[in-house]
């Protein structure tokens, strides 16, 4: 039963990432991978929030599997972020590469913190 929760959540998260990336590209262009950044930062906030709520006993273990392992695992993407950063380096766009790395990592930590804070404040 648990594996099906992860599969369902992962499928929904992956589809969400695909759609959000298309939307970001249409709205902001393709010069910087804002879709990947958006899903990664949003996912960091949501996993922090989910962690805090689960820690308070407000999220059942099955919901945690569906949402945190499945949905957020499918939504966020470290491999795409790494590839996009590498492509910036390959194209000698050093500033964009370093900005992408900094914002994903530092921003991700900040968003996890804010998510945990928000969950503990509820």
Q: 39-62: per-residue pLDDT in tens?
A: 999 999 999 999 999 999 999 999
Give the C-alpha separation, 19 to 13, whole Å.
10
- H/E stretch holding 87 reads helix 78-90
pTM across the whole model: 0.87
pLDDT band at 79 (very low <50, low <70, confident <90, very high): confident
Give the C-alpha separation, 68 to 50, whole Å.
7
CB 85 within 8 A of CB 97: yes
Q: 107-122: per-residue pLDDT in tens?
A: 999 999 999 999 999 9
CB 122 within 8 A of CB 53: yes
């Amino acid at each position: 039963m648990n594996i099906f929760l992860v599969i369902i959540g992962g499928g929904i998260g992956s589809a969400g990432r695909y759609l959000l990336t298309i939307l970001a590209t249409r709205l902001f262009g393709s010069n910087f991978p804002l879709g990947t950044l958006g899903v990664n930062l949003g996912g960091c906030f949501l996993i922090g929030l989910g962690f805090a709520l689960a820690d308070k006993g407000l999220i059942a273990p099955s919901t945690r599997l569906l949402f945190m392992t499945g949905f957020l695992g499918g939504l966020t993407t470290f491999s795409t972020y790494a590839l996009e950063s590498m492509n910036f380096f390959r194209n000698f766009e050093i500033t964009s590469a370093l900005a992408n790395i900094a914002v994903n990592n530092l921003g991700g930590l900040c968003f996890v913190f804010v998510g945990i804070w928000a969950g503990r404040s509820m």
